[in-house]
Amino acid sequence: MGCAAKDWRRKGTSVNIAADLVHLSYCSQARTGLQAADLDKILEISKTNNHRDQITGLLTYSGDIFIQFVEGPKASIDHLMYRLRGDARHKDLIVLSEGVEHLRLLPDWDMELVTAQEAHGLLRDALRESDRYGTVIALSRLLAKLQPELYQDLDENDNSG
């Protein structure tokens, strides 16, 4: 029975107010010398921990900058942030956005690594399908800093309304 309830919430088909579903995005600077193997290990551990903690999200890494978007129960996100602030693989962690949600944007992703270009497509689709424009636009602007040429039209559309 517990497993079914977990799947029900993760799919975003209904709202579980008791779970306090929240989102959070942050950026940080990778420590010098981060290797592809380090990134693989981050993803492997994140997928395991996030599945256990009912967190979903995405990670973008470009150059020496991480940008991560996560969503899940407030207590799980708070605990994740505690762990991240103590992680020596990055520094200068800055929370960019956080808030309460009703449905997950990424219900099936325990954690996925996406390029800025891939994230552009995901955010475009989410913007078309979501009423959470503030979250999507904030993430779009964030990713624009990684690859500005992909996001010029988002700024133009944002200013037209």
pLDDT in tens, 41-86: 999 999 999 999 999 998 988 778 888 999 999 999 999 999 999 9
Structural domain includes residue 9: no
pLDDT of residue 135: 60
The number of distinct structural domains making up the chain is: 1
Q: Is 150 contained in some domain?
A: yes
Residue with tokens 């977990």: 6
CATH of the domain at 103: 3.30.70.100
Does residue 25 belong to any structural domain of this protein? yes
10 falls within a domain: no
Position 83 scores a pLDDT of 94
CA distances from 128 to 70, 91, 105, 125 (A): 20, 34, 12, 5
**How high is the pLDDT of residue 10?**
40
Whether 7 is covered by a domain: the verdict is no
* Residue 125 located in a structural domain: yes
10-residue block means of pLDDT along the chain (161 residues)? Answer: 31 48 91 87 93 93 86 95 93 89 85 76 62 60 54 46 47
Q: Which domain holds residue 71?
A: 16-160
Does residue 33 fall inside a structural domain? yes
Please report whether residue 6 resides in a domain: no
Q: What is the dihedral of CA 66, 40, 19, 105, to 10 degrees?
A: 60
